[in-house]
Structure 1
Amino acid sequence: MHSIAPAILLTVALPALLGAAATEPQRPNVLVIVSDDQGWNDVGYHNSELRTPHLDRLAREGVELDCHYVQPQCTPTRVALMTGRYPSRFGLHATHASNDQAYAIGTPTMARMFKQAGYSTGMSGKWHMGSLPKWGPNHHGFDYSHGALAGAIGMYDHRYRLNNPKYTQTWHRNLEFIEETGHATDLTCGETVKWIREHKESGPWFFYVPLNAVHAPIVEGDPKWHAMNEHIENIDRRFFAAALSHMDSAIGEMVTALEETGQRDNTLIVFTSDNGGIHGTYSGGNYPPPDPRLEAGFSSNLPLRGGKTEAFEGGMRVPALASWPGVLKPQKMTTPMHVVDWMPTFANLVGGEAPAAVPEEVDGRDVWPLLMGKSPPANLEPRTLYWVWGSNSARVWEAVRHGDWKIVRRRNQPWQLYDLSNDPNESTNLADDHPDRLAEMIERYQVERAKDAPSAR
């Protein structure tokens, strides 16, 4: 079966598997890296014209997650990652990009789980799960935080680019607004490298890196990023590629810092994108750029159908990987997994107090056996995966996958049915040909919908 992978980068180390002393096992570090609006065809290892040598190396030497699912937009993917639960469990407001508080303070989160297990916890980058300091990461288990509380920002001025004065100033350190000079990708990379170097001897750590790249507005002032992509004929695609090259280089710097501090072999790196790429023009808000190309995505999800904010594969199946030298053997993992799986996977990997910090109602599953190349346990294949992408007032896109079958619809239109094993690009709707299968899938949908918060049902 064809598969496709997401774009987030994560790091965890498990020295027990690396031969650490049995009496005092060193506990793993965890680094999670998430790119923004990076499509399926926006990595070199998917035979793209775009060059991503650092991501390519991680995928080649680790586990390429060929069927890694996320949510169709930024905020809901972050909610799913941090809580291990589908965003609709918290309400309709959590299923789409928003400045509102995504979930209540006190909600079990990945950072809180690591903190309870004795980890130092930090992050740098785009939060986007509540754009005011009172809803920021330090209230959800992070000891240290830096970056943007809101979503789309200018890459050099670090201001929220939509016309809402309440959120214009958003760049912060530990929830205190600050002014910094430099490109957001460089600033986030610098904070991450600093954390890695400063925590070399301080015990286990978890660091979360939700990059602003390659979200619009795309602004790359350094000509070297453009020069690296002169082989791309389409000038708009070349413009996007410059931002991607910058991001890939930053990821390379993070890996180098791990190597230079002797932490690479006890660090697991997981990378994923937060959603599929934008296809077509994106013109959200009153932030007139000097060049109209800055408002376009120019990303690619080919050969998948659809893109960001849609429940077709191109909106939710993204580039992703896990790399851990000496522990994870190179392989392409084709079993479907979802971003909600990382919280329970990390909890069981870390052990100690971490599993107790994961609530019973999580939607995720422990996928560590799959990452280790073992056969899928009974609770992983087949399994039901579920998506809702909404507005403030309605469920706009819905989808369910079980085994190789998937149903998808927009608003209250008829369900479409696809056999992803034979049609991964969703070109042939089989709803009329397989009414019994369609009915079975709708029943699975109803079971999942009943678990949603009242506002999302």
Structure 2
Amino acid sequence: MTSTIVCFLLLFISRIVLGVATPPHIVLIVVDDLGWNDVGYNNPVLNTPTIDRLAGNGVKLLNYYVANHCVPSRNMLMTGRHAIHLGLGSGVIGYHPRGLPLDETTLGEKLKTAGYSTHIIGKWHCGFFSDRYLPHNRGFDTFFGYLGPGIDHYTYIERNMPNLRKNDVCVVSQYGGNFSTFVYATEGVDIINAHDQSKPLFLYLSFALVHAPLQAPESYVKQYETTILNEDRRIFAGMTSCVDEAIANITHALERNDMLKNSVIVFTSDNGGAIANSAGNNWPLRGGKGSNWEGGVRAVAFVYSDLLPQESRGTENTGLMHITDWFPTLVKLAGGNPYGKKKLYGVDQWNMILGLDKSHRGDVLITLESTTHANIHYKTGLFVNNAFDITTTAAIKMGKWKLLTGSPGFTYDNYWFNSDQQAIEDPDYDVRRLVRLYNLDEDPNETTEISDQHHDIVIKMLAKLHKYTREIVPEQSKTEPRIDFDKMGQCLGPWV
């Protein structure tokens, strides 16, 4: 039996399990910089009733990994390919000639080919120095949002430039002064209301929140005045509640239009909560955005759908999953073919989500930053003769084991931050150590480093990292060309 026939049979079986003959509507929600402890179902202090309800009636993904910051995560999400294959493993897009390579196929393109109407609202961050990199030129019918890493949530200003577009039109003057989360939700509701239901809908809703700056309408912040003492954390909590209300508006619109019953809603953060320059919280996980500790790379995620079988609803799935897996999972669910000339890193995990199968992963390459090296040396000399350069910033998980090399990459590597944002020092942390091993089944919070006790495991994992180094595409340029702001017109955008 050919692989194509097998794929169609598995898709047919999944459709039978789902009880649906036509492709479902897909709503992919990404919240920027949302931490493990930043949703109500992990932290009851936070008021996120819609997120809690959807997660509680769906499938929570508890062993789900992303990159430690948004550029690699979002580009991996859009392609199903690992950041090491895209030349976007480290750094930001910024004002550099960097972006998702034009010979890569996006999730929008695949779903459009499968017959979907495709729309993106909010953050893109897959490149914009040339108009060919803009989302509405890469598989999305419409784009309403911003192109860079972050914006002011009221003025839509980034680096002194307006940054809000509807396709190629700058619309800051129309929406400036209105809070971004509700503007995006309104746009999403309008798309749902106007949708031609003879076609399935793909809505990629990529919120600007809860990324800095810390801003939220006062009424959302005020509800936390007696429960959260830290002012920054109180504003941050108000931001999470704004996102929750926006998601409620989207789900209500789907329901009013009789679309919710045939929809799949995916919810994910792009990385862990930002502690250093924001007020995100990942307790009890260690670290945060920018680090390879669990708090930086194990993300909040769930799937909700009325199409899920009863036995999978309200479950917590511990199968190993990576952000690249959404690409083949959703494209196959849509009836499309996720495969092409380039090998995917992502694997189809739909049957795992349904509870019909185990994860199709044995390991996850979390980070491999070939151009980032620690400038310190592990004094005992263990592992230094291995083929893999242990000064390289890298992280990999294989089964229950997680290995870190080089610098974990966090400003506060020797601390945890509890729910009250208080720092808890790790007295055993050794900044000179270049190889760190943890048993996450027994020690999910990375409290006890055990590489000295498991040399065989470390050597095996270093060999795996070395194998991945052979696949690395050189990092894209981080040299700023001469930027002609006049060519950008009224809004931040292409300049070449």
TM interval, short-chain normalised: 0.7 to 0.9
Between the aligned partners of 1:434 and 1:19, the Cα distance in structure 2 is 47
SS of corresponding position for 1:31: strand
Distance 1:114 1:392 in 2: 35
Name 2:299's counterpart in structure 1: 318
Counterpart in the other structure of 2:58 = 62
Q: Which amino acid aligns with 2:120?
A: M
* Equivalent AA in structure 1 for residue 469 of structure 2: R
Q: For residue 385 of structure 1, what is the aligned residue in structure 2?
A: 365
CA distance in 1, matches of 2:441, 2:247: 33
Q: Distance in 2 between matches of 1:439 and 1:136?
A: 43
**Which residue, out of 195, 213, 224, partners 2:219?**
224
Deviation of 1:228 (Å): 2.2
- TM superposition shift of 1:17: 4.9
**Alignment of 1:438 onto 2:433:** no
Query: Secondary structure at the residue paired with 2:241?
Result: helix
Contact 1:344 1:358 in 2 (8 A): no
Asked if 1:345 corresponds to 2:345, the answer is no
**Selected match of 1:171 from 164, 167, 185:** 164
Per-residue deviation, 1:94: 4.6
CA distance in 2, matches of 1:68, 1:420: 13
1:428 is aligned to 2:439: no
Aligned to 2:346: 364
Give 2:280's aligned residue. 299
Deviation at 1:337, TM superposition (A): 0.4
Q: Which residue of 2 aligns with 1:309?
A: 290
1:98: Cα distance to partner?
1.8
Shift of 1:431: 1.0
> Which stretches in structure 1 are left out of the alignment for 5+ residues?
1-13, 283-296
Counterpart CA distance in 1 for 2:392 and 2:454 is 25
Unpaired runs of 5+ in structure 2?
1-13, 375-390, 408-431, 477-496
Q: Which of 6, 11, 35 lines up with 2:31 in the alignment? A: 35
Q: Report the alpha carbon displacement of residue 196 of structure 1 after superposing the two structures with TM.
A: 1.1
1:116 paired with 2:100, answer no
Task: Report what 2:257 is aligned to.
Answer: 261
Contact 2:363 2:396 in 1 (8 A): no
Q: Which amino acid in 1 is paired with 2:116?
A: Y
Task: Name the SS of the counterpart of 2:162 in structure 1.
Answer: coil
TM-score (norm 1): 0.85
Q: Which has the larger radius of gyration?
A: 2
Matches within 5 A, 1:8-407: 17=17, 19-20=19-20, 25-91=21-87, 93-99=88-94, 100=96, 101-132=98-129, 134=131, 135-160=133-158, 162=159, 168-179=161-172, 180-181=175-176, 182-220=178-216, 222-230=217-225, 231-280=227-276, 282=277, 297-328=278-309, 329-330=312-313, 331-351=315-335, 354-355=336-337, 357-376=339-358, 379-380=360-361, 382-389=362-369, 397-407=393-403
Q: Cα distance, 1:324 vs. partner?
A: 0.5
Query: How far is the alpha carbon of 1:391 from its aligned partner?
Result: 7.1
Answer yes or no: is the 8 Å Cα contact 1:96–1:389 preserved in 2.
no
Runs (4 or more) in structure 1 with deviation over 6 Å come to 390-396
2: CA distance between counterparts of 1:81 and 1:277?
A: 18
Judge conservation of contact 2:220–2:238 (CA < 8 Å) in 1. Answer: yes
Give the superposition deviation at 1:321: 0.5
**Offset at residue 393 of structure 1 (A):** 9.5
Instruction: Give deviations 1:45-98, integer Å, cap 9, x for gaps.
Output: 01342121111001100001111111101111100100111112111x453322
Measure how far apart 1:102 and its partner are.
2.1
| 1:17-36 deviations in Å (ceiling 9; x for gaps) | 5545xxxx322111100001
Is this contact kept in 1: 2:123–2:207, CA < 8 A? yes
Against the structure 1 CA distance between its residues 390 and 49, is the aligned structure 2 distance closer, same or farther, given a 3 Å change threshold? farther
> For this pair of structures, how many residues does the alignment match?
413
CA distance in 1, matches of 2:351, 2:438: 28
The question of whether the paired residues in 1 share the 8 Å contact of 2:351 and 2:357 is answered with yes
Q: 2-side partners of 1:115 and 1:262: how far apart?
A: 22
CA distance in 2, matches of 1:201, 1:260: 13
Shift of 1:234: 2.6
Structure 2 contact 66–366 (Cα < 8 Å) conserved: no
Q: CA deviation at 1:259?
A: 0.8
